[in-house]
Amino acid sequence: MPHKTAVILFNLGGPDSPQAVEPFLFNLFSDPAIIRLPNPLRWLVAKLISSRRAPVAAGIYDKMGGRSPILPQTEAQAAALKVALGSDDYRVFIAMRYWHPFADETAKAVRDWGAERIVLLPLYPQFSTTTTGSSLTDWHRAAAKAGMNLPTAAIGCYADEGGFVAAQVDLLRAALAQAETQGPATAPIRILFSAHGLPKKVVTDGDPYQMQVERSVAAMLRLLGRPEIDSRICFQSRVGPLEWIGPGTDAEIAQAALDGCRIVVVPVAFVSEHSETLVELDIEYAELAQHNGAAAYIRVPTVGSAPEFISGLARLVKHAGAFDGKPRCGSGPRPCGNAWRRCACAG
């Protein structure tokens, strides 16, 4: 018998106006998954960081029209997924972590729709405690507050899911074809797979994110089938004094430029455009590449609503497994192995 199934797309969220920048940052840095301090110390640190970073962040969002594009892009992905699921038994909702619509708003909407079961689907292909883990925790809190105790399935990760990989490789192939027409024909091409960074201590504590990024890249390179092209993994968006996982994307771009390469950058951990792609990669790092003499600099788009990616998400929803509240991973049970104790499936 069909069930009314609510699919909840998790994403980061972003400010929808200049006035929203500072409160968005406060929400981000007051998350215990991001700043691992007890309150009220975490509240004070979040208040300090958000007030200091707000003017810089406002300048970044000003380059994107004064707001983040992440919500309209997520809405487009939700609409495409609803079509791909092919049944009115499914309805797709959005729950942002740090700006509207928050999980509390979405949980009430799911309850009012009369959902009979729920599938939780992060728009983070690679699991991290700081992204998917935080969203899962926040959702369960919001659902309980809304008085919902429905059968729930959760997708923990899908780092090498076929649709995600194929969609990104299609975009990469187009960028490589473009690169081959630019710069000196003798200049080597170097692919830089760039992911958002994490403090190193988060990874050493058992967070599988870095390993899952590596798994995504390995799957993409297998499908690409161009072993003669040099490729490297790097990490962007470092903030604060802590040591972060590396190498840094900025350092790799500078080095590739000095090596006279035609640079192709793949945002391997992002599935929608936002400040890290539209400003950091497209403006700041493009200027860095040009300053250091790169033969060419091409940034591959995120997968967005690419049909293969959306089809992959639909497969994940339809094969989400038991509705017992426990996260499942797209590659099967415990794809990370027992070494990564913070994996979504470790509990």
The answer to whether 134 and 344 are in contact (CB under 8 A) is: no
Q: Which residue has the tokens 């860095």?
A: 288
- Say whether the peptide bond before residue 122 is cis (omega within 30 degrees of 0): no
Q: How many CB atoms are located within 10 Å of the residue 217 CB?
A: 23
CA 183 to the chain's CA centroid: 31
Question: Half-sphere exposure of residue 125, counting CA atoms within 13 Å on the CB side?
Answer: 35
Q: How many Å apart are CA 23 and CA 208, to the nearest integer?
A: 29
Question: Half-sphere exposure of residue 95, counting CA atoms within 13 Å on the CB side?
Answer: 30
Q: Where is the binding site, in residues? A: 196, 276
Q: How many Å apart are CA 304 and CA 300, to the nearest integer?
A: 12
Comparing CA positions, the residue from 60, 55, 32 lying closest to residue 45 is: 32
Helix, strand or coil, per DSSP, at residue 267: strand
Comparing CA positions, the residue from 19, 20, 23, 43 lying closest to residue 31 is: 43
Q: Where is the binding site for Fe(2+), in residues? A: 196, 276
